Structures are given as C-alpha cells and as structure tokens.
Structure 1
Amino acid sequence: MSTQPIPQDIEILAVRLANDEAKRAAVARSVKGRREIVQRLRTEAAAQGLPVKEYIEALTKDPKGVTPPHDTAPTSAFWSYGIEHPDAPTNRWNQNFLDNRYIAEAWAALQNDRQEGSARTLETTEGGRRLNAMHLWEPEVLTALGGADKGFTEDWTRECWATISETYATEAKGPVAIFAQYADTRSILYKRELPTLQTNTDVGLDNIHFAYEAPQTWPKETRTEVGTDSARAQLQFNDPTLAHYVDPETYPNQDPTARKAVLDSEFASVTAERNERAAGKKAEQSAAKTAEAGLTEPAEPAKETKETEQTEKAEKAEQTAQTAQTAQTANEAKPINEAKPTNEAKPQPTVEAKEQGNPKPSAAVPLWQLGFTPKPVAVEAGSSGPAAASTAPPAPDLQKQSTGPGL
C-alpha cells in the first residue's frame, strides 16, 4: 500500500500560515515596519550591553531559547525546501511556492491540538520566533540595520539561521521529523542539522525519520536500499562533485554485492566525519567557556599566604571541636525522649517533580508523499469529456527554491 499525499487539513493550514507570514514580511519591508524592527533590536541589544549584530548572534547560540519546557518531550520537526502550490505566496522567482516550513508547522499545530507539547518546529520556539520576527531575509531590513558595510548581509542572515538551527538540533530529544525528501547539499539541513542530530546522544541516527517518502521517480532498487531514513540522513543525491554522492538513476546498474559494500563504506565515512566534527565542536565550546569564565592556572601562593591559611585552618578546627563538645554536653542534659524527633514528616514530591519523571508523549512522525490530493475541476460548458482533475504539483526544482532558513 502506497503512502498518502499530504492531508488536506495540513495543506489548508500550511497555506494560511504561509500567507500570514508573507503579510508580516510585507509590513517589515515598509518604512515604518523596518524602523520599528531596528528600534526594537537596538533597545533589546542595549539592555544586554551589546551591539545589535552581536546581540542577534548571541541569540542564535543560546540553548535556552530552543530547549523544550521541562515537562514536555516534543517531537522536533526540521524542514528544507518545499513545493509549488497555487494558493501559496510568490517567492523571488515569482513562483507560488509553499515552504516545507509551513507544512511542518501545520503538522505540529494539529498534533499539539490533540496533545499539548507533543511537537514543535524551530520557528515556534522562543528563540526561533524572536529571530523570525526580525525579518532578516528582507533586504530592506538589512539595509536599515546598516547593510553590508556593517556586516548585515544575506550570507550573514543565512549563518544566523544555520547557527540557531544547529542549536535547535543539539537540544532535540528522541524521534525527530524531517520534512523533506532528502537533504540537498546546499541546505542547512544537510550542512548543520543532520550532522548534529546524528551525533546528538539524545537523538542519534536511529531516531531521524523523514516525513516524506523517497522520490517516486527513483528506481525501485534505489528507493528500497537508499530511500531508507538512515541512508537519506547520511548520503546526498544532488552533487556528484562532493563526497557521499549516490546517483539514484544508475545505482541499480551496479552489482548488488558491490553496491552494498560501497554503501557500508560511505556510512562508516559519514559517521567518522561527523564524530570528528562533534569532538572539535565540543572542544571549541569548552575552550570558549573557559575563556569566558576567565579560568586560569592558579599561581603558587606566597609563603606568608600559606602560613596564614594554615593558621586559619587550625583555628577553624579548634572551633569545630569546641562546638561538637558543647552539643554533646547539651544532648546529655536533655531527657531521652527529646534527644531525637519522632514521626518527622517527610517532604512530598511536588507536581512539577512528578511531571519531570513522566513527560508528555511525543508525536508520531508522519509518512506522506510530497504532494497534495488532486482536486476535481468543474467541466467547462460544452465539454463532452469527464470532469478533469488537476494534478499534484511537480517535484520541486532545487534551483528555484526560496532562500529562507530551511534552504
């Protein structure tokens, strides 16, 4: 039985979310809108004692903004690219294009309607909402912040989203949902999120699940052997000049034993690379924390200092002994039934503590085709044929995608 297209309730909500965001972006591009954003950022940055640029960069690295509440264990959703849709807003190539972001958000919203706190996306976390509200993808906003002369460029915006995406992946726990058919090598999903999820000990390779099945255009053998969640989380299928490339069309032409050996070798190579990267990242973070705390090797204390410390220790020891002797004398003077309290009430665990041990359940990762259910189209007057049906949108052209955070 084949998988179903994206459900209609998800489609309707995703389109609404996309158009609502497009309206907010239009406001941000206006003179008034971008001035308000700049003023807000300057106020927030000043409160932190930082320049605006450093304030934004610090936000993207702060795990507090993307960590789930203590009493929840949501399924974290990730996304990349999207699909054409006639009711979606237009992108920079004048296409009606629906980012997978909104499909993921619609899925998470409906999951949370059924079970609060069971699903989330980056853009619905506190940190993600704050970064999204800055509208840094809009050229007008970047110019208002100071433009390229001050380092506010589209490349900088992409790095901000890449950093917070990696932070989000670091804080994920349990199964995660990937709203994409596979990860394009140009995407943040491929460069930052999947490597982080694989080395995240609370997630790992076995907990990475794609919400869309492998492309139906792939040959059967490719879909079966390389279309697995594990393979799509590690390999790439769009750039033969880069490592870990598999050509979906020619893959079945290889000897089955040989291609299995090649896959095993690729998987081992990816794991080694990502583990090495994770170790380097951990070392960098440790060094940064040490530098921030100003920790240095303590100097050898002077002779007078040592003697003073020894004198103080001796005095404290003497005071402790005297205190113990006084307590013993007092206890001996008390009646026996007062020496120890009886029936002392034990503290009961709080509701919060109980919830920490029993977090709310995660949402199950869906599995859909990358498309929508064809909708009937009314027959034109005079037509002698049956009612025609529109076709599902074609698979996305990866050269024409939006340049939002999921690219």
Structure 2
Amino acid sequence: MIPEAPPTPQEIARAFELDQEHANATPADQEQGYEVAQRIFADYVASGASTKDPDLLQFIKGQANSGSVTNEDRGVHRAFWSYESKLEGVGAPVPNRFLARACGESRGLQVLEDTPVGHQLNSYFLDNRYVVEALAEAFKFDPVELRSIHGKAWDTLSERFAQETEGLAVSFAADITENSVIGNIEIPALLKNSKVGKEGIKFATRLPLEGHEHLPPDVHGFMSNDAVRCQLRKGDDDPQKSPEEFAKKLAAIDVPEDQKEAHSAIVARLSEAKSYEELHTAPPEPKQKGPSKRARAFMPGMSLENGIPPAAPARGPTGHGVMNPVAAGLAPKPAGIEH
C-alpha cells in the first residue's frame, strides 16, 4: 500500500477502537491512579536512579532526551498527526492521533506513541489527576511544574522523531495550526531534515474545503499540493483579511519546480484582487474592436435601424482549450489511499 494513501474503512474503524481502548485505560479513580503511579516508580527504580529523594521531573526529562524514538518492528516511513479530520462517508470526526496509529499498524509506519519511549510516556497518564495525586506520595514535585515538564518532554520527543526521519513523513491532519506540535515543531524540523524536505512530506488526509470556501477552486487546488500545504498554516487565507495579505504569505514559500508557474500566477491574481469575491467573478468580455453602431450609421448604405452586421470574429480555441489556460499542476492531484 502507498504510505500516504487515504485511510481505508478498516483503518478508520481501527482508529475508533484505539480511541476507546485509550479511554478505557485512562485512570478513572484513586485506585487506578495508584496502580499507574506504582508502575512509574518501578520504572524509575529500574532506570538506576537514586531512591533517596527521588526526582520525578528529572526522570521524565531523561526519558525524553535519551529514550528510543524508533520502533524496530516498523519500516522507514513515519507518521505525524494533529487534531482530527472529517473524512468522506464517516459520520463523526476521526481523531488523527489514533488514525495515525491505526495506519501505522497496517502500513508499518513509525508512530511516536508506538515507539519505546513514546509508548512508555503515553502510558504514564501524567495529565491525569488521580495519577498525579498518587505520585505525590513517592515524589516531591510541583504539579504545575510537572505539567510543564510533561509538555516539554513531548515537544522534545516530537522534534527528535522528526529529526530521525529518513523516509517519507506521512501526515494525518486537516489544516495545520501555527501553535500545534506538528505546525510549530515537527514540520519545521522535517523541512530542515535533508533526508525529507518539502518533497518528502505527504498528506494522507485531504485539505478540507470547509474554511476555504472563499477561495477559487484552482487556488484551493494549489494549496492542496503536499509540498505547498506543509508550508501554510490555518488562517493564512483568512477571508476577513485582504487577498493581498495571503499573496504575501504565498510569495514567501518555496515551491517545487513544477508548481512555480502556477505559484507566480496565483500570487499575482491575489495581489491585484480587492476582495475574495472578485476572484470568483469572471473577467468582462473584451469589447469588440471597430466602428461603433453610431459611427456605422454615417457610413454609406448603413443606418442606426438597418446596420449591416459585422463579420463574425475569428474563432478562438475550440472546446479542447481555454482562453486562459490553467497552469499545469494547479489542480489537486487525485488522492491516494488517506496527527
């Protein structure tokens, strides 16, 4: 199967199963929180750390900095995810976190939560109140600081995961937000990764039309190109702002060679448009050259009432062409099989 192919019905069903399994495993009372806390303390001891004044925060930092972010049972391609996607034919939004894991199982993709350190940290439920309360019996820490260290640990793992990518980076996301992990950490690291770059970032989920209805189809199609899409962020084409502002953001990105002509044309159109509505309005038909009807009335044998109709203009392109051809590669490529 193509790594970035759209998710199959079986993979989508598995994603919902994984979501439910995670919910079932989440501690729901003090007893379950204590069981997880005991397991964390056992891992702490097994790491060789001192049991005198045990330091939970330092342990979490150490795991994030040195734990393995590669699953030896998976292939070279890696999956990244963000939020959720509305997929065609699916009644509810699909959580991309579990969609990436489902496709990771079936396609052999590396998924951070299924790597040794990702799985370990994910199973600690350090954002769960019952676990945090139970851990307070074995460790001294500030709960606020723990939340901060926990978040930074995942940021560190995400960056390392992206930096160690050697194959394709398959993204499960709709619009990429500026402050998300994928938008703020992972994709910037992938773009800097010489083994990946913009050509190595692929999307298994389509760019939604929702939120982009104000754009002409060809502009949306251009944005759907994977190498372009990975460099844009949600709100870059804010309909409350002018097309010219979006043009400036588009002009700043680096596009593949086969998209450069389309890129230049779209940036020019957006720069000249006063509103997004104007982009949807067909340009006026050019006025016919030659004498006006009034002028023809003063020609021999012609009058305002009985003007001789002018000769038919030369035919333009037939139905096999258009007057303003769209640049190659402008429309979105057909989706393959779809964080």
- Taking structure 1 as the reference length, the TM-score comes to 0.52
Give deviations 1:249-282, integer Å, cap 9, x for gaps.
877x559xx93x75232449xxxxxxxxxxxxxx
Q: Distance in 1 between matches of 2:25 and 2:74?
A: 30
Q: 1:208 to 1:83 in 2, by over 3 A?
A: closer
Query: Residues 23 and 72 of structure 1: is their aligned pair in 2 closer, same or farther, counting only changes over 3 Å?
Result: closer
Counterpart-to-counterpart distance in 2, 1:208 and 1:68: 20
Question: Higher helix share goes to which structure?
Answer: 1
Distance verdict in 2 for CA 1:140–1:110, change over 3 Å: same
Task: State, as a whole percentage, how many aligned pairs show the same letter.
Answer: 24
Counterpart AA for 1:138: N
Pair 367,250 (structure 1): closer, same or farther in 2 beyond 3 Å = farther
Counterpart pick for 2:149 among 156, 180, 199: 156
CA contact (8 A) 2:30 2:134 kept: no
Which of 52, 66, 71 is residue 69 of structure 2 equivalent to? 66
Q: Is the 8 A contact 2:190 2:197 kept in 1?
A: yes
Cα offset, 1:157, TM superposition? 2.7
What is the aligned counterpart of 1:233 among 218, 230, 235? 230
**What CA distance in whole angstroms lies between the structure 2 residues aligned with 1:72 and 1:133?**
20
Partner of 2:205 in structure 1? 212
Q: State the aligned residue count.
A: 242
RMSD of aligned Cα (Å): 3.3
Which whole-Å CA distance do the structure 2 matches of 1:235 and 1:19 have between them? 32
Asked whether the 8 Å contact 1:100–1:179 carries over to 2, the reply is yes
1:56 aligned onto 2:64:
no
SS at match of 1:178: strand
Contact 1:145–1:152 under 8 Å retained in 2 = no
2:325 aligns with none
CA drift at 1:125: 0.9
Secondary structure, counterpart of 2:49 in structure 1? coil
Question: 1:210, 1:367 within 8 Å by CA — same for their partners in 2?
Answer: no
Q: Is the 8 A contact 1:174 1:202 kept in 2?
A: yes
Give the whole-Å Cα distance in 2 for the aligned partners of 1:201 and 1:185.
23
Distance 2:70 2:77 in 1: 12
Contact 2:12 2:94 in 1 (8 A): no
For residue 151 of structure 1, report the CA deviation from its aligned partner: 4.5
Which residue matches 1:139? 129
The amino acid across from 2:238 in the alignment is: D
Gaps of 5+ in 1: 89-95, 112-117, 239-244, 269-365, 370-405
The yes-or-no answer on 1:263 pairing with 2:266 is no
Distance 1:216 1:97 in 2: 15
Amino acid across the alignment from 1:66:
V
The 1-side partners of 2:202 and 2:6 are apart by: 17
Q: Is residue 2:113 matched to residue 1:123?
A: yes
**1:164-188: CA deviation from partner (whole Å, max 9, x where unpaired):** 1111111111111100023112211
Deviations 1:280-326 (A, max 9, x none): xxxxxxxxxxxxxxxxxxxxxxxxxxxxxxxxxxxxxxxxxxxxxxx
- 2:77 alignment partner AA: T
Partner of 1:9: 10
Which runs of structure 2 are paired with 1:20-39 in the superposition (5 Å)? 20-25=21-26, 28-39=27-38
The 8 Å contact of residues 143 and 152 in structure 1, kept in 2 or not, is answered as no
Is the CA contact (8 Å cut-off) linking 1:215 and 1:223 kept in structure 2? Answer: no
Cα distance in 1 for partners of 2:24, 2:86 equals 19
Alpha-carbon distance change, 152 to 368 in structure 1, aligned in 2, over 3 angstroms: farther
Deviations 1:313-367 (A, max 9, x none): xxxxxxxxxxxxxxxxxxxxxxxxxxxxxxxxxxxxxxxxxxxxxxxxxxxxx74
Distance apart, 1:230 and its partner CA: 1.9
Structure 1 residue 231, shift from structure 2 partner: 2.2
